[in-house]
Structure 1
Amino acid sequence: MRAVIQRVTHASCTVDNDITGKIENGLLVLLGVEEEDSAEDMKWLGQKLVNLRIFSDEQGLMNKSVQDIDGNILLISQFTLFAQTKKGNRPSFIRAGKPDLAKPMYEEMGRYLSELLGKEVQMGVFGGDMKIDLRNDGPVTIIMNTKDKDNH
């Protein structure tokens, strides 16, 4: 799994002029699922997301997590995080998980994050033509890959 995490003051997802998810103060998480991703990868990444200390404390240092600030998460599926661009000019997405794997994994990540946060995580629409609006705070943008979990 790959995730692009953005600290935001607000973010929303719109599909066909309907807002499917909207948050204030928290994390916008773009999530890509790869064919060999497992429930273990999902749980590792979910724990990292809710505990990632990228929010400012009273001294202005990045010492607080989304949990610490009672923040929110907007989770968006994004298979293009697995684009391969080495050859030619048209990206290849052969490493991205097929919908029969990726959709349930994305939905389970939403449930798992909701459980960890103790509140509903806002979601996009898997496979939908989503329009994402956000205000990146900082800007702070972090990229995580579950393949890195064993490389301390």
Structure 2
Amino acid sequence: MRVVIQRVTEASVRVDSEIIGQIKKGLMVLVGIENEDCLDDAEWLSKKICNLRIFDDEDEVMNKSLIDVDGDILAISQFTLHAKTKKGNRPSYIAAAKPEVSIPLYENFVACLEKVSGKKVETGMFGAEMEVSLTNDGPVTIVMDTKNKE
């Protein structure tokens, strides 16, 4: 699983001009899933995301986690995170998992995030054409891949 994590002051996702997910202070997480990914990856990643110390403490040092600041999460599925661009100019998405693999794992990932954070996680709509808006705070943007967890 590959994620792009952005610390935000606000974020939202729209489908057909309707807001279907929205948060204030917290993390906007784009999630890409490959065929080899499994529930262990979702569990490891959710713990890592919720405990990353990327929020400022009283001394303006990134020393607090999402849990420490009672932040929210907006998780958006994004198969394009696994784009291969080595050949030609048209990205290949062959590495991205098909819906029969990625939908259940994405749903498990969201459930893991909710369990670890203790809060409802806002989401987009899997497979839909979405418009994502956010205000990146910092800016702080972190890329993580479960292939690099060891």
TM-score (normalised: structure 2):
0.99
Q: Distance in 1 between matches of 2:38 and 2:134?
A: 29
Q: Distance in 2 between matches of 1:139 and 1:101?
A: 33
Unaligned runs of 5+ in 1: none
| Paired position in structure 1 for 2:121 | 121
- The yes-or-no answer on 1:77 pairing with 2:87 is no
Query: 1:1-150 alignment to 2 at 5 Å?
Result: 1-150=1-150
Q: Distance in 1 between matches of 2:39 and 2:104?
A: 11
Counterpart amino acid of 2:10? Answer: H
CA offset digits 1:9-45 (Å, max 9, x no partner)? 0000000112111000000000000110011111110
Q: Which has the higher mean CA deviation after the structures are superposed, 111-120 or 48-57?
A: 111-120
Q: Distance in 2 between matches of 1:90 and 1:81?
A: 14
Q: Distance in 2 between matches of 1:27 and 1:135?
A: 10
Q: CA deviation at 1:115?
A: 1.3
Q: Structure 1 residue runs of 4+, over 4 Å off? A: none
Structure 2 counterpart SS, 1:81: helix
Structure 2 counterpart SS, 1:94: coil
TM-score (normalised: structure 1):
0.97
Structure 2 counterpart SS, 1:14: strand
Counterpart amino acid of 1:90? Answer: R
What root-mean-square deviation, in Å, do the aligned CA atoms of Structure 1 and Structure 2 show?
A: 0.5
Aligned length, in residue pairs: 150
Structure 1 counterpart SS, 2:25: strand
Counterpart amino acid of 1:80? Answer: T
